[in-house]
Chains A and B, each alone.
Chain A
Amino acid sequence: MKPSAFDYVRPLSLDEAMEQLAIDPFESKVLSGGQSLIPMMNFRLARPERLIDINRVPGLEGIVPGQDRVTIGARTRHLAVQNTGLQGPLGSLLRTAAAQVGHLPIRTRGTFGGSIAHCDAASEWCLVARLLDAEMTVRSTRGERTIPAADFFQAIFTTAMEPDEILTSISLPALDDHHVTGIAEFARRAGDFAIVAATAAVKIEDGVVTRARVCLGGVSEVPWRSQAAESALLGSAWSAGAVAEAAAAAADEVDPPSDSHGDADYRRDLVRALLPRALNTAGAGS
């Protein structure tokens, strides 16, 4: 399949990119890694009249640790995230998640921010962003604003960004060493989008869960923060049994879609199976 005709511009600065985007925001698309946009254009599911290629715009890449938060440039490639030397439970989560993004050629081109702006409910970065209440910084000729993850992901392929806005960076909380983090997903083949994915960040102090974050993919239109699992975990003694109970609570809570890869019951079963794997409780006591 071939895309419909489009114009192509390649700005050399963020200001220029925002100006280009402001010309005709509804008919324009920002091209970053292109790993979703280009296939969608080839399928003619997307028919932008203008592509604004931000690959030559400086200052959009890198992982910068701060005092309480870590800032990731929107155009940071998945492979750079996979190779990050960032310490602690956050670094470990980012590396584990990045390794599950597509295949190597996808990871070398595709970007962290592109994945979040694309807003696929099964994507690793949308899950991690929602899990950790990331803050998305977006800019346009009208100015800059920051959108919390809870508001950002609105529906499938739909975010809170306005058509003239460019995602520039994403900030995540630096997790202290009391946290256990992880992600587990199930796909039919290596590198496919997950049918269901589970990710969690659990703070354990003196053997007791003092903060629980659980986020599920593939069970709703946008990443699903499982309050049932989080409240089941919170205050409980850290054990494989507690995680299994939380997974069961999450499975009962969700109302997943059915498609050719699996029906709702199957997805609930996967939630039950994957959350313990995300937190790697196989070796923990029950």
Chain B
Amino acid sequence: MNTAEPRSWTGRAMPRLEDPAILRGWGRYVADVAAGDDCLHVRFVRSSHAAGRIRSISAPAHVTLVTAADLAGLHPIRAVLDRPDYVTVATPILADDVVRFVGEPVAAVLAPSEAEAEDALDEVVVDIEPLPAVLSAEAASRRDAPLVHDTEFPGDPNTVVDGRIHTPGFDEAVASADRIVTVQVGSSRQSAMPLEARASHAAYDRATGRVTLHATLQMPHMTRTGIADCLGIPEDDLRVISPDVGGGFGAKMTLAREDIVVVHLSRTLRRNIAWIETREENFLGAWHSREQVYDIEGAFSAAGELLALRGDLVCDVGAYSCYPVTFGVEPLMAMAELPGCYRVREYSVRSRGILTNKCPIAPYRGVSRPVQVLAMERLMDVAAAELGLDPVQIRRTNLVGEFPHRTPSGLVLDDASHLETLQLAADMADLAEFRERQRAAREAGRYLGIGFSSFAERTGYGTPAFAARSVPMTLGREEIATVTPGAERVICTMDPSGGVTLRIGASPHGQGLRTTLSQVVSDALGIEPSSVRVIDSDTDTTPYGWGSFASRAMVIAGGATLIAARELAERLRVLAAHRLGGLPDDIDLVEGHARRRDTGEEIALRVLARDTYHNAQLIPDKGQPALEAVGVYDPAGTFANACHVAEVEVDPDTGEVRIERFLVAEDAGRLVNPAVVDGQIHGGIAQGIANALYEELIYDERGVLVTTSLMDYLPPTVAEIPPIRIAHLETISPASITGAKGVGEGGTIGAPAAIANAVSDALAPLGIGVFHLPATPHRLRTMIRQASRTKEAAS
């Protein structure tokens, strides 16, 4: 084994190979595939009632109408989790008989253009007899609450997940505490809101009877499995391609009912069919997240040590499960990871997922962790204030500093740098200088605040982690074996010209993975990234893989890539040694050549490659006349970590929050491409700011979504995002063979808590703390008004 591995590309902030085409408008998205194609366009008729029974669906004769009755023989989506507290509910492909949320697809219309399909939509009449709806987790779990699904609930009504952990020494630890600190935190519903809404285009091939589905996805292989199961067809009858994707953020890893309809119609009508989702539909029906309330209790010693943590966590999961990860995704992640980066010896938690007549939840960047971190970080600040400690000091007392560390829920934290990132962040923030500015500002009637947020970001977890969480997933018919996501495979091939092709099962959608994997390959083979081509997101041309989600691609697909590239490099050394003499271990691969370290003799890789394919008689050891290696990687996972600091000013008259500074001390392990890593952090923080201050899905009292356009649902623009300063530590953990840790979600996970703490710090003189996000100007101003009235009344 050669140890002199050059590191020239890894660590370099090289520009992304993907960007020139995308920035020039040469990207190819699903709508581009549909444009100009002679396809029929589908529009979905959606329920305008939160709960009801369908009496009739009708349309004039000239409208091509498709209802559940036309989908006989299709299997419903059944996302199943192998837990005793889990209640399985089926999702019909189109609503049959009953509707369960506003926006649920009840029928489809077909027309030659999008506009005509929109016209046809107007002509469909759906007669629904309203039924009582439950619109909050609290109302839904009350005794005698109307049931969202007519099924058995072993516990409280509509409760589909009810997980508990209680460590043996918990009660004793609480009894020994000097102070019990309680907080309740919560988040409104939010949307991942990718710029490109959902879209699909199914092309029917008369010659083979196969359908090629272009759709905007994070999991093309899993989507094919899911659709094939629902249609009851062999997977090979369907090819799934995810072309350029305009943002996923988790929202595109869940199987869409609409995509199943599109493929079914293409097969039965033997036509090409397209569906381009509107923004309104995307808000109504394309997954929500984060509607959670946590009641938290921390038992502290007088010195600020957290002795025990109790949590009662409630997640409103909407009307259906999501395939493949199920509606257990939020409550179970919250339960397993609430302690985060803190040493919690004793832990008692109950975490529930509760059905309501609202849009189903599904993963969104960070999943439950933005709320978990909000809970822990508010707890730390409130405890610090009650115990007279400084916010940095109380974190230092409680952060995990020795690794590996086993959490009370059984997770193992690998090597990380919680104490070091906290210190780095505190140094960057210059807390003493800030406190002086804050004091002066308060005297002038201005409200400045600073907030810290420390967190661990679980990334790159494969089969062992998913199996341990006991989340086997099944669909459709019961006899289908449960499955557990995990490994990624890659196939690394050198062609006769010396160029390298990397076929991956992961499915990048904006993360720059083609660039970063090319960097990994280039270092292993001594070539340049521009001669590496990554092929992804096509079930016909890539090995089966799980796709890109849960901050996994660089860790898992990157690890598989390194394994494959090293194996290919080893083969090249054997071939080179055969030509140049010496042993394979004496050969270095540099600058497109194989070079003997002792003599300096070299041979171009393209010569080796060409001879391997075209002059097999030259190949030693009866090897294959090809240059190809397969890499498989399936790690248990690795935790990235960071400390965020937000500095804000609150306008007491309007309730507006202005973020003055945002600082990040990040540890994502080895940085394969620092520019890509910083880009992930920037984007994540922008979404964290959105979660903290701007975005909120609002239902009215009848269960109608009010916020269905970008006039009402407010993603921040570039004007609302402050400059972000990032400093990096690089802890190399043995849990990742590339040394890289995932970094896709951390920005979104850490930012909301840092901002909530900063706003609370700013408004501390008024006795105001922020516990529910988003902290909109309206909410803050209302609290400020009430606080000043209370103050007036007291004086």
Are A260 and B707 in contact, CB atoms less than 8 angstroms apart?
yes
CA distance A132 to B37 in the complex (A): 55
The yes or no answer to A284 lying at the interface (CB within 8 A) is no
The yes or no answer to B712 lying at the interface (CB within 8 A) is yes
The yes or no answer to A34 lying at the interface (CB within 8 A) is no
With beta carbons under 8 angstroms apart, the residue of A4, A189, A193 that contacts B717 is A189
Q: Which residues of A contact B709 (CB under 8 A)?
A: 43
Q: Which residues of B contact A190 (CB under 8 A)?
A: 717, 719-720
Are B785 and A265 in contact, CB atoms less than 8 angstroms apart?
yes
Q: Which residues of B contact A261 (CB under 8 A)?
A: 778
The yes or no answer to B115 lying at the interface (CB within 8 A) is yes
1/0 per residue B716-736: CB within 8 Å of A? Answer: 110110000000000000000
Are B114 and A2 in contact, CB atoms less than 8 angstroms apart?
yes
CB interface residues, B 91-140, toward A, < 8 Å? 113-115, 118-119, 122
The yes or no answer to B233 lying at the interface (CB within 8 A) is no
Q: Which residues of B contact A44 (CB under 8 A)?
A: 118, 122
The yes or no answer to A205 lying at the interface (CB within 8 A) is no
With beta carbons under 8 angstroms apart, the residue of A2, A186, A265 that contacts B115 is A2
Q: Which residues of B contact A3 (CB under 8 A)?
A: 115
The yes or no answer to B58 lying at the interface (CB within 8 A) is no
Q: Tell me the smallest distance from the CB of A281 to a CB of chain B, in Å.
A: 13
Q: Which residues of B contact A1 (CB under 8 A)?
A: 118, 278-280
Q: Which residues of A contact B696 (CB under 8 A)?
A: 260
Please give me the residue from chain B that is nearest to A262 by CB atom.
B778
The yes or no answer to B656 lying at the interface (CB within 8 A) is yes
Q: Which residues of A contact B711 (CB under 8 A)?
A: 192-193
1/0 per residue B662-693: CB within 8 Å of A? Answer: 00000000000000000000000000000000
CA distance A69 to B278 in the complex (A): 47
**Contacts A1-B280, A191-B717 given; does A266 touch B653 at CB 8 Å:** no
The yes or no answer to B408 lying at the interface (CB within 8 A) is no
CA distance A43 to B419 in the complex (A): 52
The yes or no answer to B706 lying at the interface (CB within 8 A) is yes
The yes or no answer to A270 lying at the interface (CB within 8 A) is yes
CA distance A186 to B777 in the complex (A): 10
CB interface residues, B 325-359, toward A, < 8 Å? none
Are A266 and B280 in contact, CB atoms less than 8 angstroms apart?
no
The yes or no answer to A188 lying at the interface (CB within 8 A) is yes
Q: Which residues of B contact A266 (CB under 8 A)?
A: 655, 777-778, 781-782
Are B118 and A4 in contact, CB atoms less than 8 angstroms apart?
yes
CA distance A190 to B719 in the complex (A): 6
CA distance A192 to B119 in the complex (A): 30
The yes or no answer to B385 lying at the interface (CB within 8 A) is no
CA distance A20 to B653 in the complex (A): 50
1/0 per residue B26-65: CB within 8 Å of A? Answer: 0000000000000000000000000000000000000000
Are A273 and B119 in contact, CB atoms less than 8 angstroms apart?
no
Are A269 and B653 in contact, CB atoms less than 8 angstroms apart?
yes
1/0 per residue B627-658: CB within 8 Å of A? Answer: 00000000000000000000000010111100
Q: Which residues of B contact A151 (CB under 8 A)?
A: none
Q: Tell me the smallest distance from the CB of B297 to a CB of chain A, in Å.
A: 33
Please give me the residue from chain A that is nearest to B115 by CB atom.
A2
Q: Which residues of A contact B583 (CB under 8 A)?
A: none
CA distance A216 to B778 in the complex (A): 19
The yes or no answer to B714 lying at the interface (CB within 8 A) is yes
1/0 per residue A257-275: CB within 8 Å of B? Answer: 0001111011001101100
The yes or no answer to A5 lying at the interface (CB within 8 A) is yes
The yes or no answer to B294 lying at the interface (CB within 8 A) is no
Contacts across chains A and B counted by CB atoms under 8 Å: 65
Q: Which residues of B contact A188 (CB under 8 A)?
A: 694, 714, 776-777
With beta carbons under 8 angstroms apart, the residue of A260, A265, A269, A270 that contacts B712 is A260
Q: Which residues of A contact B782 (CB under 8 A)?
A: 263, 265-266
1/0 per residue A189-215: CB within 8 Å of B? Answer: 111110000000000000000000000
Please give me the residue from chain A that is nearest to B652 by CB atom.
A273
Are B698 and A273 in contact, CB atoms less than 8 angstroms apart?
no
With beta carbons under 8 angstroms apart, the residue of B114, B279, B714, B785 that contacts A189 is B714
Please give me the residue from chain A that is nearest to B714 by CB atom.
A188
**Contacts A260-B698, A263-B778 given; does A4 touch B785 at CB 8 Å:** no
Q: Tell me the smallest distance from the CB of B621 to a CB of chain A, in Å.
A: 64
Q: Tell me the smallest distance from the CB of B452 to a CB of chain A, in Å.
A: 26
Q: Which residues of B contact A272 (CB under 8 A)?
A: 653
Are B716 and A186 in contact, CB atoms less than 8 angstroms apart?
no
Please give me the residue from chain B that is nearest to A274 by CB atom.
B654
Q: Which residues of A contact B655 (CB under 8 A)?
A: 266
Q: Which residues of A contact B781 (CB under 8 A)?
A: 266, 269
Q: Which of A3, A186, A269, A272 has the most CB of B within 10 A?
A: A269
Q: Tell me the smallest distance from the CB of B171 to a CB of chain A, in Å.
A: 44
Q: Tell me the smallest distance from the CB of A280 to a CB of chain B, in Å.
A: 15
Q: Tell me the smallest distance from the CB of A53 to a CB of chain B, in Å.
A: 19
With beta carbons under 8 angstroms apart, the residue of A4, A260, A270 that contacts B706 is A260
**Contacts A43-B709, A191-B719, A263-B778 given; does A269 touch B785 at CB 8 Å:** yes
**Contacts A5-B115, A44-B118, A260-B706 given; does A189 touch B278 at CB 8 Å:** no
CB interface residues, A 15-63, toward B, < 8 Å? 43-44
CA distance A263 to B114 in the complex (A): 38
**Contacts A4-B115, A265-B782, A272-B653 given; does A189 touch B694 at CB 8 Å:** yes
Q: Tell me the smallest distance from the CB of B45 to a CB of chain A, in Å.
A: 15
CA distance A19 to B636 in the complex (A): 74
**Contacts A43-B709, A265-B785 given; does A189 touch B720 at CB 8 Å:** yes
Q: Which residues of A contact B712 (CB under 8 A)?
A: 260
With beta carbons under 8 angstroms apart, the residue of A2, A263, A269 that contacts B118 is A2
Please give me the residue from chain A that is nearest to B696 by CB atom.
A260
Please give me the residue from chain A that is nearest to B709 by CB atom.
A43
With beta carbons under 8 angstroms apart, the residue of A2, A189, A260 that contacts B716 is A189
CA distance A266 to B651 in the complex (A): 14
1/0 per residue B767-795: CB within 8 Å of A? Answer: 00000000011100110010000000000
Q: Which residues of B contact A263 (CB under 8 A)?
A: 778, 782
Q: Tell me the smallest distance from the CB of A189 to a CB of chain B, in Å.
A: 6
1/0 per residue B239-283: CB within 8 Å of A? Answer: 000000000000000000000000000000000000000111000
Q: Which of B653, B776, B778 has the most CB of A within 10 A?
A: B778
A residues adjacent to B (C-beta < 8 A): 1-5, 43-44, 186, 188-193, 260-263, 265-266, 269-270, 272-273
Sample (29) of A-B pairs whose CB atoms are under 8 Å apart: A1-B278, A1-B280, A2-B113, A4-B115, A5-B119, A43-B709, A44-B122, A186-B654, A186-B656, A188-B694, A188-B714, A189-B694, A189-B714, A189-B717, A189-B719, A190-B717, A192-B714, A193-B711, A260-B696, A260-B698, A261-B778, A262-B777, A263-B778, A265-B785, A266-B655, A266-B782, A269-B654, A272-B653, A273-B653
The 9 closest A-B pairs by CB, nearest first: A273-B653, A190-B719, A2-B115, A262-B778, A1-B278, A266-B778, A2-B114, A2-B118, A260-B698
B residues adjacent to A (C-beta < 8 A): 113-115, 118-119, 122, 278-280, 651, 653-656, 694, 696, 698, 706-707, 709, 711-712, 714, 716-717, 719-720, 776-778, 781-782, 785
